[in-house]
Amino acid sequence: MMTESKLVSMGYDIKTIPTPREISESCGLAIMLDPDKKDEMIALKKELPIAKIWSYLKVDGVIFVNEVKE
């Protein structure tokens, strides 16, 4: 929750959600935000405890999941 608090204090519009099953079978939380912020999150990954950054897109019932690399 430290990452969530920090992002909110920095002015990011975020939503905490259950980690999608397409990303992890175990329970957990994920932070969802605007895909346009991807480059900013990559930069912040060095400063905040962000394990991984994923793109998650659902189109006509088909889900596309990719890990975002730096």
Q: Domain residues of the chain, as ranges?
A: 2-67
Length of the chain: 70
- Given this model, what pLDDT does residue 16 score? 92
Distance between CA atoms of residues 40 and 44, nearest Å: 6
Paired with 30 in beta bridges are 17
Q: Taking residues 25-51, report their average pLDDT.
A: 88
Residue 62 has pLDDT above 80, yes or no: yes
pLDDT tens-digit map of 10-27: 999 999 999 888 888 887
